[in-house]
Amino acid sequence: MDVVSPELNSLLPERSWTRRQLSISISGTPSPLLTLKPALATSTATTRTTDSVTGTSITTSGLQKLTAPFTISAANHQIILNKVAQATEAAKAAGAAPQVLKQDGQKLLVTTIGKPGQPIVLQLPHAGAKPGGAKPGGAQAPGEPKSPTPQFKVVTIGGRAEQKPAVSGAANQLPTLQAQQLKTVQIAKKNPTFSAAPIKLIIAKTVNSKGLSPQTSVPSVITGRVLTQTSPVVPPRTITLSEPHSTSLQSLPGKKIAISPLKSPSKVTVVSVASPTSNASQKSVTLPVNVALGQQILTVQQSASGSPVKVQTSQTSAQAVKPGQSVAVGSVGGSQFKAIIPLAAQPNVQQIQVPGSRFHYVRLVTASTASSTGGTGGTGGAAGTSGASTSSKPMVVSAGPVRMSVPIVPAQTVKQVAPKPLGSAPQVVSAAQTQQRLIMPATPLPQIQPNFANLPPGTVLAPAPGTGNVGYAVVPAQYVTQLQQSPFVTLASSSGFPAAPGIQTQARLPVNGEPAHVPDVWLLRYCDCFANGEFCNNCNCNNCFNNLEHETERMKAIKTCLDRNPEAFKPKIGKGKEGESDRRHSKGCNCKRSGCLKNYCECYEAKIMCSSICKCVGCKNFEESPERKTLMHLADAAEVRVQQQTAAKTKLSSQISDLLMRTAPVVSSGGGRLPYTFVTKEVLEATCECLLEQAKRAEQAQLPAPEAERLVLEEFGHCLMRIISSAAKAKADCSSMSC
């Protein structure tokens, strides 16, 4: 479950360590404290760094006792918890809340992901330790005692006693774990800004509601996870990982945030944020932990802006992700994460990819988002989203129906949302600008209520209450381009959804006000782009409605499809049942003639074998099928041949190119280097001079014209002969020199 190591404090503004509290709450959950699922040993420890405390039981404030032996030593600034796993296992068995060690308001969240019986060492900050560059240009809350920000060398989680640097090399590899999902996300480096306000770290996540525990239960549709630092004085401030300028996230050293998944208490998700101040800030930081089966680890790493981001999961191979791109892990409907990475190139457009959903979403952030100052935390189902010094608002996922939204403008004001170039502050095009047009009254579109679980195109992420005119639209990635090109403008309206306060709707119409033709939904059903939740782009489709110009109609079609089949936009290929590691078709194929050995078969096309849920006839796409084996062999052989041919072609091409380069004489002809080209500009000029000279001689001799022409032609022939002779000689010389 959600676990936060003390290093999380390094994410926070420079504040007194002893007054600092870290907590994790799920977006939408009222409790500001860490809602740790006790599936694995997790505990929250509040310690006093001035004293050395040893014992076996600490009464927590409202939480459980930590019965495991522990040692808190101020001398070495460590907290050693022994066999916490066992203790927390008991808590788990009892279904109890996470354990907390609490003294003087200082709280450490400890997880025992590792083996039972091995101690957990938490490196506490040294008294008087300096922030260590953790607060570049940060602001501190007025009146707040200025205290050094602790530097955490290491927080070892998972039964490892040795301390490791916060940023380590690739040597720290997770051990091979079965049924474990390792997810590594790098977060683009962000400009550090600071605020003393408490910080919430939100990792949006689509949640399978079935796996939600009471503590993490959120409104049924969507949820998020929030790491919260609470303060009795300053209202909580929320920062999402997606914030392009999220403050302390990148400015504090050594951050490892362990977050447990919402879905299942048996899973543990670890978010590790590398230190940007470290020289190895871009290196992979992997928390060396032993994780039990079924655990899920999400490692969030920080990297310099502009550097590629790698996403590593246990299911998919590493792939390069550009800064600003969203990184998606997991799959829709499961315990997946939606890690939102700031879009470096377009600060006000953040792409969000929902794992497995094949959708590419972007978050549109307006200037008001960036400039808005401070706000109280979220209310009700929606987590707090206001950020005092952040340039963009955290994505807030809320319960209930979610509706597409763009930055909402009060009254009749129209805002055009368009990606801005890198470096430019997010802006909202005001109504006075030329491209703005008032399209339609701000009325809700109740018919557009996509289910966030499915995250169809146009899903809305609502702004937090009290955050002003800020909305978030989750739209397909193509939306970004189309927003730039489209003559349409968006008009948002207030939401009428009681279950989703702040969720707003939008409606779009052509600029000329003409009502868009309602497309035949049927036409969209067979469009792969539409089925994939994408806008058509460079397709050959005629009268295409799957574009931004027909967004309203498209949204209706989406809703129609979802009404008909709530899983219409979910990927067909997913993981099998519990224990089935292989992928399989969610519905199974229905082939009759192809024997499931042609690409007509969706199973075969996905390179998976048919399963028991398939209704195919004469299926030959199973493990022992000789036809399938033969086909596989043939395919492999064909692939080998293609590779060999490609290699041969490449080699031949290279040889020819090399030969031409070596045999080409160094003869300049108009700047070009032409092989065996001797008719250069100089040769031509010389030849012409010879011909002219011959003509002058004929003229001086007063020869008749035909005779003069004959002399000129003869001279031309002599010139050609000399050119040819020179070329042959040069070639012979080149051959003799083996050049």
Partner DNA sequence: GAGTTTGAAACT
Partner DNA sequence: CAGTTTCAAACTC
List residues near DNA by CB under 7 A: 521-523, 525-528, 541, 561, 564-565, 568, 572, 587, 589-596, 598-602, 605
- We find the least distance from the C-beta atom of residue 556 to DNA, in angstroms, to be 12
- Residues 638, 646 contacting (CB under 8 angstroms): no
Q: Which is nearer to DNA, 428 or 521 (CB)?
A: 521
Place of tokens 């008009």: 491
Q: How far apart are CA 358 and CA 336, in angstroms?
A: 14
Burial of 46 (C-beta count, 10 Å sphere; 0-12/13-18/19+): buried
The identity of residue 285, as a single letter, is: V
In 3D, which of 550, 504, 505 has the Cα closest to residue 529?
Answer: 550
Q: Which residue is it, tokens 């499961």?
A: 334
Q: In this complex, which beta carbon is closest to DNA, that of residue 473 or of residue 614?
A: 614
Question: Minimum distance from CB of 618 to DNA (Å)?
Answer: 8
Q: How far is the CB of 631 from DNA (least distance, A)?
A: 10
**Contact in structure between 41 and 232 (CB atoms under 8 Å):** no
Q: What is the CA radius of gyration of the chain?
A: 34
N-term to C-term CA, the chain: 71
Give the nearest distance from C-beta 88 to DNA in angstroms.
44
- How far is 589 from 608, CA to CA, in rounded Å? 11
Comparing CB distances to DNA, the nearer of 106 and 594 is 594
Residue 619 Cβ vs DNA, minimum distance, rounded to whole Å: 9
CB 356 to DNA: min, Å: 15
Least distance between DNA and beta carbon 480 (Å): 23
Closest separation in Å from C-beta 488 to DNA: 25
Locate 324 and state its tokens.
């600003």
For DNA, give the closer residue by CB, 100 or 601.
Answer: 601
Q: What one-character-per-residue DSSP string does 653-710 give?
A: HHHHHHHHHHHS---EETTEE-TT----HHHHHHHHHHHHHHHHHHHHTT--HHHHHH
- Residue placing its CB nearer to DNA in the complex, 183 or 572: 572
Q: Which is nearer to DNA, 255 or 556 (CB)?
A: 556
241 residue type, one letter: L
What minimum distance in Å lies between the beta carbon of 635 and DNA? 11
Determine the Cα–Cα distance for residues 600 and 597; give it in Å rounded to an integer.
8
Tell me whether residue 210 or residue 598 sits nearer to DNA (CB atom). 598
Could you tell me the smallest distance in angstroms from the CB atom of residue 643 to DNA?
Answer: 20
For helices 681-700 and 705-736, what crossing angle results, to 10°? 150
- Distance from C-alpha of 677 to C-alpha of 664, rounded to nearest angstrom: 9
DSSP for 90-125, please give it: HHHHHTPPPEE-EETTEEEEEEE-S-TTS-EEEEPP
CA–CA gap between residue 542 and residue 536 (Å, rounded) = 11
- Shortest distance, position 623 Cβ to DNA, whole Å: 19
* Comparison of 100 and 603: residue with beta carbon closer to DNA: 603
The kind and range of the H/E element at 251 are: helix 247-251
Which lies closer to DNA via its Cβ, residue 318 or residue 637? 637
E strands, 450-572, in order:
460-461, 472-476, 491-493, 505-507
Helix %, strand %, coil % for the chain, to 5? 20, 20, 60
Closer residue to DNA in complex, CB, 202/589: 589
- Cβ neighbours of residue 628 closer than 8 Å, sequence gap 6 or more: 597, 609, 620, 621, 622
The tokens for 581 are 């590691």
Residue 520 or 709: the one with the smaller Cβ distance to DNA is 520
Residue closer to DNA, measured from CB, 337 or 545: 545
Contact between residue 31 and residue 166 where contact means Cβ atoms under 8 Å apart? no
Min. distance of Cβ 533 from DNA in angstroms?
Answer: 13
Min dist. Cβ of residue 458 to DNA (A):
17
Instruction: Tell me the three state secondary structure of residue 185.
Output: strand
Alpha-carbon distance of 489 to 470, in angstroms, equals: 16
CB of 455 to DNA, least distance (A): 17
- For DNA, give the closer residue by CB, 541 or 679: 541
Nearer to DNA, 434 or 599 (CB): 599
